Amino acid sequence: MPIEASSFPEEVQMAFFMHSYISDRWDGMNGVYLGKDWIESDQLFKMYEIENPKEILYFMKLYDGLVAKQRYEVGERKRKTAERQSSNAGKTYTHNVRG
């Protein structure tokens, strides 16, 4: 059963909220996730009048590390699947069965 955001402390909930507003950076050639564009975080802290931005940023970075790891693993699985499919393409197997 997945954990709900409401079960976390207020600071962590705020980190989830703020993390969702920061834009992602992707490598256009490979489709690899490069992380968040952290320049925007300062503006969000000011706009939402965050009292403890260092603490919120700490939780945001922890969460982003988990997100990046998960996206990397998904990308690797897709890459390996595509690699297997392309290496098997065009191969014809004939079996010599005598019975």
Domain ranges in the chain are 5-87
Contacts of 38 (CB under 8 A, 6+ apart): 22
Confidence of residue 27 (pLDDT cuts 50, 70, 90): confident
Check residue 45 and give left, alpha or beta (phi > 0: left; psi -120 to 50: alpha).
alpha
Tokens describing residue 47: 């706009």
Report the distance separating Cα 23 and Cα 40, nearest Å.
8
Distance of CA 85 to the CA centre of its chain: 25
pLDDT tens for 73-91 read 998 898 899 888 887 666 6
Answer positive or negative: Cα dihedral of 33, 37, 38, 41. negative
0.85 surpassed by pTM: no
